Structure 1
Amino acid sequence: MTSTKTHIFITGATGYIGGTLLKRLLQHENASSFEISTLVRAADKAEKLKALGVQVITGSYSDEDLLEKGAQKADIVFQNVDIGDVGATKVILRGLKKRFNETGRPPVVIHTSGTAAVCDSANGMYESKVVYSDMETDRIQSPDLILPHRLVNAVLLDADKEGYIRSQIIYPSTIWGLATGPLVDAGIQNPHSIQIPPFIRVSIDRGKALKIGEGRNIWPNAHIEDMADLYMLVFNKVLSNPEAPHGRDALYFAAADEHKLIDVYSTIAKSLYELGKVNSPELTQLADDEVIKYYGNPMFVTSVNGGNSRCRADRSFALGWKPTRGTKDMLDSIKPECEVIVSQLQRNLGKPVTARPR
């Protein structure tokens, strides 16, 4: 970047992943050379972010003009909101195309996708032997894959091919662990993942520990801070070298280890039983009406929580990614997170429980 300041626009800055990335940017050794902006709806959080030195655009992600203008001012965009929303991605790209036309330099998009992009529809009933490498672009973008992640990624890759952006697409897996840091302490950032914690909340709400199918399906996992390490490796790469690999040569899985879902369900059941929040450590399958109640869209169950998503992070490791925590650490983290969630639910009695992202 040739300007004095590197202009960074980050979406989802109050969320689990986006807030952790914002924390890392604020702590970055070159933070004094960054001008960071974000779009925030809540006025109280906007004021707290301003106090941390973040420029705030007040509004929601349905305000297309605001989203486009935020992107138009950016050298680098961290996109962390609704990874299946093609429309919002196109709005961001409109702003970035204007940026390119103004400067002649293609801005960078570091996009949060997800390894659900390569999920099957096992519904928890079987273990797949199919494993995807992040070096295999054609397989990752196969038209046979059914979730909207692939469609959003295709739009970004097309824009990269046209030459007006340089895309970096990161695929988080099961990201776990309580987020920590100044944004959590200030009440700005959601500290919980949208993956394992909903299993905990739904089990508490129904008084019975859940399982989806037989829990035989396999997913990869990574701790929230290990995942953030990968994002910062990618960020530092493009910051130091605008000509760094991009597009089809810049797809990265954040997959440190892998687990069977039955081990997650069983650990939750044992933890909640010990805490007196379910009536038995035995697992029970969600009934059809419960799937609708808690998840809304049954595809969330069959093709995400119930699917296999087996990945190798070959490109991420080649970049220098060195995650330090694995499946055992993840399972060990479940009971402490159960305790936190139980306390939260006790403070929020009367509010409906849902497994869908809020």
Structure 2
Amino acid sequence: MGQNILITGAAGYIGGSIVADFISRTAGPIKAANISAAVRSEEQSQSLSKLGVNVVKVDLSDETAVMEVIVSNKIDIVIHTASSMDSRLASHLIKGLGRNREISGKETYFIHSSVTTLFAPEVGWEDGEVRDTDPLFEKEKEMGDQNPVRKTNLLVVELAQTLGVTSINIALPFVYGRGSGQWKKLSANIPAHIRSGIAHKVVYKFDKDGNPPTAHISDLVALYGLLTERILQGTPIPSGKDGYYFAIAHTVGWWEIMDGLAKALYARGLVEEPKTPFWPSDEVAADYLGFPRMFLRAMGTTSGQLVPVNAYRLGWQPKWDKERFLKNIDDEVQAVLDLDKTKVKTTVFDSLLSGEK
């Protein structure tokens, strides 16, 4: 009998793309698994039900409801993409897995989705090279849980260990590309700049350049699939305190991205010139982009010297690199023009830190 997988944020950009990938499998351990998709609204439920997947409408902030979903569906693996900001959601899911482990006697796994910006100097991390094989948990513990995303990271490791659940933390970089999910197909950062450029006839850039870690959505989904396959096959993989995975395919300069967007939009007659002046102020940038002021710099100028090791040791092979991304940057513009017509939107910041919006 196949194992049971629950994907949260299944109506979101990342979670929806994972669902689409998993149910498209024609062979292998994921094909043999039973896939459940967690959503929040009836509209989302009806949309995803067309895929033939087991759709679960649940409020992840309701611990009793989450426990019921996990136990009644005998969930062995949770892939959590719904939120890295609210530690309650991760707590409820892990407690449910712990309870199911007690009942079934089977191992249970929690794959958490965090962000790489936690390990950048802009949010207090020390300068210098950071590998995902470094003692990241110990350093995060030392820094404390004032940052809500870091608080969730710490909770995931500690609570999962207490309850005998195996935890894995995928640190998400700046993600681009058109998603393949049923509901939300756009990421957060690039679409925000495209919308701002179209609305104000100019593409701005910050006065500080950066070189953010990035990945195409298809490569990111492939990593989730690879990790899930290893779990289903019973292959030992780094987990718990050692289970951080930087999902980084390549890096690219922020100014290169903005210059590429300006040229693509200018070629379509959507901005007045193919140049990228600096933002007049951070306040204007926050207003135009929809980013909270406190996270603005981290979202628009971050660099960091992050080195992914664990994913590549497992055999992850991203297909997108910097050159391919910049060469096809007009695809990002086309995606916004196509998909904004669907009116499936949320705030940019919620989209970045929450898969189920």
| TM-score, with length taken from structure 2 | 0.86
Give the counterpart of 1:24 among 13, 21, 42.
Answer: 21
Structure 2: 5+ residue stretches without partners:
352-356
Give the counterpart of 1:235 among 218, 225, 228.
Answer: 228
**Could you tell me how far apart the structure 2 residues matched to 1:255 and 1:140 are?**
20
Contact 1:218 1:307 (C-alpha < 8 Å) held by counterparts? yes
Q: Match of 2:192?
A: 198
- Residue 169 of structure 2 is aligned to residue 169 of structure 1: yes
**CA displacement 1:271-308 (0-9 Å, x = unmatched):** 11222222222223153432442335212212232222
Q: CA deviation at 1:352?
A: 9.7
**CA displacement 1:178-231 (0-9 Å, x = unmatched):** 123xx4xxxx232212222222112222322121233x2111112212112211
Contact 2:3 2:33 (C-alpha < 8 Å) held by counterparts? yes
Q: CA deviation at 1:109?
A: 0.6
RMSD of equivalent CA atoms: 2.8
Q: Match of 2:323?
A: 328
Q: Match of 1:95?
A: 96
Q: CA deviation at 1:58?
A: 2.2
1:280/1:235 Cα in 2 relative to 1: closer, same or farther (>3 Å)? Answer: same
Contact 1:202 1:355 (C-alpha < 8 Å) held by counterparts? no
Greater relative contact order structure (CA < 8 Å, 6+ sep): 2
Give the counterpart of 1:337 among 301, 318, 332.
Answer: 332
Structure 1: 5+ residue stretches without partners:
123-127
Identity rate of aligned residues, in percent? 24
Give the counterpart of 1:15 among 12, 18, 21.
Answer: 12
Contact 2:116 2:246 (C-alpha < 8 Å) held by counterparts? yes
- Residue 271 of structure 2 is aligned to residue 278 of structure 1: yes
Contact 2:98 2:164 (C-alpha < 8 Å) held by counterparts? yes
Count of aligned pairs between the two proteins: 342
1:304/1:140 Cα in 2 relative to 1: closer, same or farther (>3 Å)? Answer: farther
**Could you tell me how far apart the structure 2 residues matched to 1:140 and 1:21 are?**
30
- Residue 280 of structure 2 is aligned to residue 289 of structure 1: no
Q: CA deviation at 1:40?
A: 1.9
The 5-angstrom pairing of residues 198-217 of structure 1 reads: 198-214=192-208, 216-217=209-210
1:335/1:108 Cα in 2 relative to 1: closer, same or farther (>3 Å)? Answer: same
Q: CA deviation at 1:159?
A: 2.2
Aligned to 2:212, what secondary structure does the other structure show?
strand
Runs of 4+ in 1 over 4 A off after TM superposition: 343-348, 351-354
Contact 1:119 1:304 (C-alpha < 8 Å) held by counterparts? no
Q: Match of 2:295?
A: 300
**Could you tell me how far apart the structure 2 residues matched to 1:290 and 1:237 are?**
46
**Could you tell me how far apart the structure 1 residues matched to 2:238 and 2:341 are?**
49
Contact 2:213 2:251 (C-alpha < 8 Å) held by counterparts? yes
**CA displacement 1:315-340 (0-9 Å, x = unmatched):** 11111111122111111232122133
Aligned to 1:167, what secondary structure does the other structure show?
strand
Q: Match of 2:70?
A: 71
Contact 2:230 2:236 (C-alpha < 8 Å) held by counterparts? no
**Could you tell me how far apart the structure 2 residues matched to 1:346 and 1:104 are?**
48
